Amino acid sequence: MSSVLRPNYRRARVLALEIEAARNHLHEARADPSMTMDDILELRAELNNLEREFFLTGVTSEYDL
């Protein structure tokens, strides 16, 4: 039962890397004139989903990793 309350650091580390990659991709997409607004919104939604999953790991910050 106590494992349910502990933060999942392993999952948080994986998500932190995915979040960093998604942020870089979003930054590059904003500078790319061939990307449409729908593409950028889709990337932003994916980033929001990753950040939500990170929150659910129970780790309070990327600095705790």
Q: What is the pLDDT of residue 20?
A: 96
Question: Are 62 and 10 spatial neighbours (Cβ–Cβ below 8 Å)?
Answer: no
Residue 39's CB is within 10 A of a number of other CB atoms, namely: 13
Q: How confident is the model at residue 15 (pLDDT cuts 50, 70, 90)?
A: very high
| 59 in Cβ contact with 65 (< 8 Å) | yes
Nearest-CA neighbor of 22 among 46, 5, 4?
46
Task: Name the average pLDDT for the chain.
Answer: 91
Give the pair of three-digit tokens for residue 53.
């999953």
Is 57 within 8 Å of 14 (Cβ atoms)?
A: no
Answer whether 0.75 is exceeded by the pTM. yes
pLDDT score of 4 = 66
